[in-house]
């Protein structure tokens, strides 16, 4: 649907949602936060037929089949996690729905748990069977077990098959995920990044570059990133980082951001460091998106879930609203497949989270096992996806 017809549909559903409409769900008495329009006010949100049907100061509870009391909580768009591994049963993938229920994440972007020849299985057994929305970046790396194979030739040889796969699955495949760094079983070559660049240009898709151990250097990677591409693990401690020893942000990183390259946290088991994040934020460099890089080796710590990652950013000094912007509409714009996703527009998909900020003493641990004690944490009290409460 283009933007105009989407707005038309919104107006139509708003008109249909008249005084006598019975809603599927009404969330009442919450603090509404819709970062797409910088909305911050108390009110109610109604859901009907999988869409947001009304956002008003007071919607009578009697008009809803199901009522959620959000007193003391925030009603927000469902969270969008731009870097996850949710191909359950393959590699380190977690099962998304049970985690979504407790975390508010209604859109999951899989960052390369699947290769070009695994998309059909990922779609049939994970995407189609999950309540949450799932998209993904296809993994570009030689997965052949033959040690004699030249990995660069191997990857280049897959170009056509991967291209066909991308074309046939553009509804869910956003682009290519590439691990950039020397820790790839000693098989890293700068050629991979060049091949990925060619690929993304040829098939007009985005590149998600995971930055880790150099070589290559940051200044060699950034010029190959274009507008709309994503650099993930931006607060890592590794050689390909964004912060100079002096604490300034590297010039090539600032240039990339100016060109429209997006920078994502991608917490993970090894890639989120409080000190680097503090330095980057002190230099004015906030991430464009906040993601977890959740998989089954970090879901029991230090990542746990999206609210825990958000709590770390809150502890580092970001406002709740700034965090929400980066976990809803900013990430949804990169996904760019579902009109209204990541917003509370009337007519938008009814993906919602009820979040709260609790006060107390909460230990939070980064990827290097540095622990801080936060006096606040963000928790999820309810998740609604596609108009239904997650069970």
Please give the residue ranges that form the binding site for Zn ion (CB under 5 A): 111, 293
Q: How far is the CB of 268 from Zn ion (least distance, A)?
A: 6
- How many residues are listed for the chain in this entry? 391
Q: Are strands 352-365 and 371-385 parallel, antiparallel or unpaired?
A: antiparallel
Q: How far is the CB of 206 from Zn ion (least distance, A)?
A: 15
Closest CB to Zn ion among 89 and 247? 89
Q: How far is the CB of 119 from Zn ion (least distance, A)?
A: 17
Burial of 124: CB neighbours in 10 Å, binned 0-12, 13-18, 19+: exposed
Measured CA to CA, the distance from residue 335 to residue 51 in angstroms comes to: 19
Q: How far is the CB of 230 from Zn ion (least distance, A)?
A: 12
**Strand (E) or helix (H) holding 363:** strand 352-365
**CA-to-CA separations, 94 to 100, 166, 211, 249, 292, in angstroms, rounded:** 11, 23, 22, 34, 12
Q: How far is the CB of 26 from Zn ion (least distance, A)?
A: 37
Name the residue with the smallest CB distance to Zn ion: 293
Cβ neighbours around 233 below 10 Å, total: 31
State the DSSP code for 319. -
Q: Is 31 helix (H, G, I), strand (E, B) or coil?
A: strand
Q: How far is the CB of 58 from Zn ion (least distance, A)?
A: 43
Closest CB to Zn ion among 197 and 267? 267
Q: How far is the CB of 274 from Zn ion (least distance, A)?
A: 19
Q: How far is the CB of 83 from Zn ion (least distance, A)?
A: 6
Closest CB to Zn ion among 44 and 110? 110
Closest CB to Zn ion among 173 and 354? 173
Measured CA to CA, the distance from residue 254 to residue 277 in angstroms comes to: 16
Measured CA to CA, the distance from residue 216 to residue 244 in angstroms comes to: 16
Closest CB to Zn ion among 113 and 328? 113
Closest CB to Zn ion among 23 and 114? 114
Measured CA to CA, the distance from residue 287 to residue 114 in angstroms comes to: 26
State the DSSP code for 128. T
**CA-to-CA separations, 34 to 19, 79, 345, in angstroms, rounded:** 24, 11, 9
Cβ neighbours around 300 below 10 Å, total: 8
Closest CB to Zn ion among 24 and 81? 81
Closest CB to Zn ion among 111 and 323? 111
């Amino acid at each position: 649907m283009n933007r105009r017809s989407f707005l038309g549909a919104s107006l139509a559903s708003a008109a249909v949602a008249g005084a006598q409409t019975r809603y599927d769900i009404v969330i009442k008495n919450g603090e509404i936060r819709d970062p797409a329009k910088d909305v911050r006010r108390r009110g109610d949100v109604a859901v009907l037929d999988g869409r947001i049907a009304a956002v008003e100061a007071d919607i009578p509870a009697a008009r809803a089949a199901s009522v959620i009391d959000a007193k003391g909580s925030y009603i927000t768009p469902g969270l969008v996690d731009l870097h996850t591994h949710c191909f359950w049963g393959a590699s380190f993938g977690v099962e998304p729905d049970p985690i979504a229920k407790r975390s508010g994440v209604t859109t999951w972007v899989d960052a390369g748990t699947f290769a070009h020849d695994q998309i059909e299985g990922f779609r049939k057994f994970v995407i189609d069977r999950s309540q949450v929305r799932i998209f993904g970046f296809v993994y570009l790396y030689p997965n052949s077990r033959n040690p004699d194979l030249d990995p660069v030739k191997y990857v280049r040889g897959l170009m056509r098959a991967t291209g066909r796969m991308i074309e046939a699955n553009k509804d869910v495949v956003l682009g290519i995920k590439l691990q950039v760094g020397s820790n790839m079983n000693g098989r890293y070559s700068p050629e991979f990044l060049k091949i990925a660049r060619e690929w993304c240009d040829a098939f007009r898709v985005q590149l998600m570059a995971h930055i880790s151990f150099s070589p290559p250097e940051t200044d060699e990677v950034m010029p190959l990133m274009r507008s709309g591409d994503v650099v993930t693990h931006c607060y890592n401690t590794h050689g390909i980082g964004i912060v100079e020893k002096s604490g300034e942000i590297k010039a090539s990183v600032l240039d990339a951001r100016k060109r429209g390259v997006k920078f994502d946290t991608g917490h993970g088991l090894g890639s989120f460091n409080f000190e680097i994040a503090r330095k980057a934020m002190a230099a004015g460099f906030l991430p464009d998106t906040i993601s977890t890089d959740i998989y089954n080796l970090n879901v029991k710590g230090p990542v746990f879930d999206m609210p825990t990652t958000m709590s770390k950013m809150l502890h580092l000094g970001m406002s709740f609203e700034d965090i929400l912007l980066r976990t809803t509409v900013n990430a949804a714009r990169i996904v760019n497949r579902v009109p209204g996703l990541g917003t509370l527009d009337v007519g938008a998909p009814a993906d919602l989270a009820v979040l709260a900020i609790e006060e107390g003493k909460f230990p939070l641990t980064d990827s290097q096992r540095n622990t801080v004690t936060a006096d606040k944490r963000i928790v999820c009290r309810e998740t609604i996806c596609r108009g239904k409460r997650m069970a």
